[in-house]
Amino acid sequence: MTRYRIVIEYDGRPFAGWQRQNNVTSVQGSIEAALFAITGEKIAVHGAGRTDAGVHASGQVGHFDMAKPFTPFRLIEAINGLLRPLPIAIVDCMEAPGFHARFDCVARSYRYHIINRRAPLTFQAGLAWRVPALLDAEAMHAAAQLLVGTHDFTTFRSIRCQSATPVKSVTRLTVTRHGEDIIIEADARSFLHHQVRSMTGCLKLVGQGRWSADDLSTALAARNRSALGLNAPPDGLTFVKAHYDRNNAPNFRNGSLTG
Compute CA distances 42 → 6, 34, 45, 150, whole Å. Answer: 17, 10, 10, 40
Q: Which residues of 214-229 are buried (b: 16+ CB within 10 A; e: fewer)?
A: ebbeebbeeeebebbb
> Cβ(106)–Cβ(245) under 8 Å?
yes
214 carries an active-site annotation? no
HSE of 146, CA atoms in CB hemisphere, 13 A: 18
Of 11, 52, 65, 235, the active-site residue reads 52
Contact 193, 163 (CB under 8 A): yes
Bridge partners (DSSP) of residue 94 are: 5
Q: Which residues are catalytic?
A: 52
